[in-house]
Amino acid sequence: MSHNSFGHLFRVTTWGESHGPAIGCVVDGCPPGIRLEESYIQARLDQRRPGTSKFVTQRQEPDQVKILSGVFEDDRTDGPRTTGTPISLMIENVDQRSKDYSDIRDKYRPGHADYTYDAKYGFRDYRGGGRSSARETAMRVAAGAVAERVLEELYQDTVKIEAAMIGMGPHTIDPARADWSTVGDNPFWCPDPEAAQHWALRLEEARKDGNSLGALIEVRASGVPAGLGAPIYGKMDSDLAAAMMTINASKGVEIGAGFGASRLSGTENADGMKPDGNGGVMFDPQGPENTNGGILGGITSGQDIVVRLAIKPTSSILTPRKSVTRDGEETEVVTKGRHDPCVGIRGVPVARAMMALVLADHALRHRAQTGLLRPA
């Protein structure tokens, strides 16, 4: 029972504060023999790095990852490979500017965890939000890269995970216009290039107004075989909901038709099935497609897994907010520092990483408890 660990068989433990010397994670349970180069992890990290566009925090962090253990290379291994022992990953913090935060050490920032950390722990490392900073999510992206390598190896590159931002504040995209192959072409991970241009203007406005915007993220995994997951409390959708809800600023998660499903009738909702012509099964929706989001009874159906999460607007804004001090005095908070006007943007690679972590964990669990043993 560790609050800083995620997963069961593929298990990640993260550590580190925003303004400490470093952040890091330990990935335990990774199978042996998988190729793993620092450069592969680095490429993923570069996608959530701060300072890459004017729409994300201007903190300058190279976020250079080091592999400290669990990978071995000699003249027989054809590159570095996992050994089955814990993989320790570390990023040194470079641009810390602790002084930016000195004036809020005694104030509770509205919408932040300052007050609740104090309520729980009695005091806190307030520099940059300390442990509650979204900086921790860098390690999720790093660990998620390892998870993706496991999935590549286990399923011979057939599993594909994609994530996109499909809404920013009140602005949501028209699914009919979405082209997911374009998400990497704009700073919003938006699958509609025109919407992205519009969003750029809206977010620039919000930033200048000292304001921020919420976001809607969608993650999809295709090629996942039917039969992954588990009943009751080990459900694939329960694990995905938990995973997505651990992302900073996340306030909601839905699978498939999600909240929309609550407004449907039974004849509209469930996908029918038909023979796929090869002795197998394919789904045959009569109403909206894949309302179950690829999961039935907590177990994958072979359809795409579809998850959406709601990200609240950044609480760190330049507009002054009423608050109180640690001593219970009235005060006002203006968050200076270098913040994301829409944290959802950098949440996209994080959500993608969480999907990879959940799938890798279930893939290993599946190997343990199924597959070999069959009735007569």
Residue 250 annotated as binding site: no
Question: Measured from the CB atom, is 181 or 359 closer to a second copy?
Answer: 359
What radius of gyration do the chain's Cα atoms show?
A: 22
Q: How far apart are CA 320 and CA 308, in angstroms?
A: 31
Which helix (H) or strand (E) is 91 found in, with range?
strand 87-92
Residue 132 annotated as binding site: yes
Nearest to 90 by CA among 42, 133, 127, 50: 42
Shortest CB 96 distance to a second copy, Å: 13
Overall residue count recorded for the chain in this entry: 376
Shortest CB 173 distance to a second copy, Å: 13
Contacts of 268 (CB under 8 A, 6+ apart): 287, 288
Shortest CB 280 distance to a second copy, Å: 6
Question: Measured from the CB atom, is 174 or 181 closer to a second copy?
Answer: 174
Residue indicated by tokens 């290993």: 364
Question: Measured from the CB atom, is 88 or 96 closer to a second copy?
Answer: 88
Question: Measured from the CB atom, is 76 or 181 closer to a second copy?
Answer: 76
DSSP state of 121: H
Residue 93 annotated as binding site: no
Residue 122 annotated as binding site: no
Question: Measured from the CB atom, is 196 or 215 closer to a second copy?
Answer: 215
Residue 302 annotated as binding site: no
Nearest to 367 by CA among 4, 10, 49, 5: 10
Nearest to 143 by CA among 247, 250, 7: 7
Question: Measured from the CB atom, is 181 or 206 closer to a second copy?
Answer: 206
Residue 133 annotated as binding site: yes
Determine the residue type at 64. Q
Answer whether 332's CB lies under 8 Å from 323's CB.
yes
Shortest CB 254 distance to a second copy, Å: 3
Shortest CB 245 distance to a second copy, Å: 4
Residue 314 annotated as binding site: yes
Nearest to 207 by CA among 335, 61, 112, 349: 335
Residue 51 CA to its chain's centroid (Å): 19
Determine the residue type at 351. A
Question: Measured from the CB atom, is 160 or 171 closer to a second copy?
Answer: 171
Q: How far apart are CA 309 and CA 295, in angstroms?
A: 17
Residue 353 annotated as binding site: no
Shortest CB 50 distance to a second copy, Å: 18
Shortest CB 199 distance to a second copy, Å: 13
Answer whether 26's CB lies under 8 Å from 10's CB.
no
Residue 102 annotated as binding site: no
Q: Could you list the residues known to form a binding site, using ranges.
A: 48, 54, 131-133, 248-249, 297, 312-316, 338
Q: Could you list the residues known to form a binding site for FMN, using ranges.
A: 131-133, 248-249, 297, 312-316, 338
Q: Could you list the residues known to form a binding site for NADP(+), using ranges.
A: 48, 54
